[in-house]
Amino acid sequence: MRPRTLSRLTIAAVSLGLMATLAPSAGAHPGPAKTEYKRVGYFTQWGVYGRNFQVKDLETSGTAAKLSHINYAFGNVSPEGKCFTGNIPGEADAWADYVRPIDAAGSVDGVADTADQPLAGNFNQLRELKAKHPDLKVMISLGGWSWSTHFSDAARTPASRKAFVSSCIDLYIKGNLPTDGARGGAGAAAGLFDGIDLDWEWPASAGDVDTVFRPEDKQNFTALVREFRTQLDAYAKSRQRSGEGRPKHYELTAFVPTAPAKIDAGFEVRKIMRDLDFVNLQGYDFHGSWESTTAQQSALFAKNDFSVDQTVNDWLRRGAPARKLVVGMPFYGQGWTGVTGGGNGLGRPATGPAPATWANGYEDYKALRKLADSGAYTLHRDRRNGHAWLFDGTTLWTYDDPQVLRTKSAYVRARGLGGAMFWSLDGDTADGELITAVDGVLGRR
């Protein structure tokens, strides 16, 4: 049955705070009254450097209390098809992960790391964060745009899949980290990660310039998901039999694309959904500064274009359960400069990416918020389609602000979807303005 698309008027009403009085209409997919919506935030390994965004900031901002999951980005896959870590520029950063000492002022629990403790860095801080928030789950995300290079090779044969999955479980779930001075060792990170998130970008479709892809990736991805599910379940049962802890379900998730061509090329949707706890839908980068014309990057609705609603419906049509679809929401914007043609700037030619703090064409929400407050830019909204942008006559930034995110969160509730995902947590303001907006609609009740 073709899933019903809620009308824009319905979503507009929801976004104006009428959710409590909105009765689900026929064909919609209302969630149970006590639904626990996923609120999944990506924490970037490299954000601790230039952005100086530390795990402790998740606590001081109030963000940690508003999340159900933290996805740690990223773990890499070696040319031999194994999960690995180390201090290899551009490939792995054990220093940030578990070697770097954190002082008392930067620590979640207020206690400085010692020289002889086996786990330090981000991993130990995440462990401390979980101690404060026992319901919070931490996932290791494997791949991402830059580190999906060897996924296709790792997933190519039954033997390679088995070895790959075993290496990932050993490194992250069992926590057997390579030794680095006093750091690491057998079981050093045991109990930290509650599951594995697969960010293969993309099976059977082009990704980053050096990422290998093959037509058979589609079936191999299904088999890889099955292998992860089998080995994770087997490890959980072995722990239970040995009396190492209470029964545990290790979660398995994936980041999946918006483009129908990429979905059909790389994903046997009904099959993978049997083994995945949920998928995080790409809800952004529909357009960006790699194009020569300005456009929306994350609209809720769009006619004859990518949108959140289109993405949701495309996954539903292919057999994904609504409750397993988690909508990706950006904590950043895409921008162009040299925009000509007048008007509000949207759909106009541009000369290139807009200058930005870390990478031209890409700017954190917290910086865009300052631009919006400066008076130099005009804030525009497409209330019918659910997106916003800033334009100063020359430079345009398309992004999501709290109002847009509340509308999207209301859409998640109205469609009975699984929740919201955020890339990435370091883009939010110091007081967690964006996560607070989402939590106001999808938070625990």
Catalytic residues: 201
Radius of gyration of the chain (CA): 21
Cβ atoms of 363 and 357 within 8 Å: the answer is yes
- Name the β-bridge partners of 349: 293
Burial of 347 (0-12, 13-18, 19+ CB in 10 A): exposed
Please report where in the chains the tokens 């939010």 appear, as a residue: 428
What lies within 8 Å, CB to CB, of 303 at 6+ separation is: none
Q: Are 202 and 188 in contact (CB under 8 A)?
A: no
Taken as a whole, the chain contains a residue count of 445
Q: Which contiguous run of DSSP H or E holds residue 275? A: helix 269-275
User: Which residues, in sequence order, are bridge partners of residue 325?
Assistant: 279
Report the 10 Å Cβ neighbour count for 226. Answer: 16
User: 224: which 2 tokens?
Assistant: 């890889």
CA distance 241 to 159: 27
**Using CA atoms, how far apart are residues 428 and 182, in angstroms rounded to an integer?**
34
What is the rounded CA–CA span in Å between residue 275 and residue 221? 12
Rounded Cα distance, 171 and 391, in Å: 47
For residue 77, CA distances in Å to 145, 216, 311, 383 come to 12, 19, 28, 42
Neighbours of 20 (CB within 10 A): 6
In sequence order, what are the beta bridge partners of 421? Answer: 40, 328
Nearest in space to 96 (alpha carbons), one of 35, 137, 53 = 53
Q: Which two tokens stand for residue 366?
A: 């917290």
Whether the Cβ atoms of residue 399 and residue 370 lie closer than 8 Å to each other: no
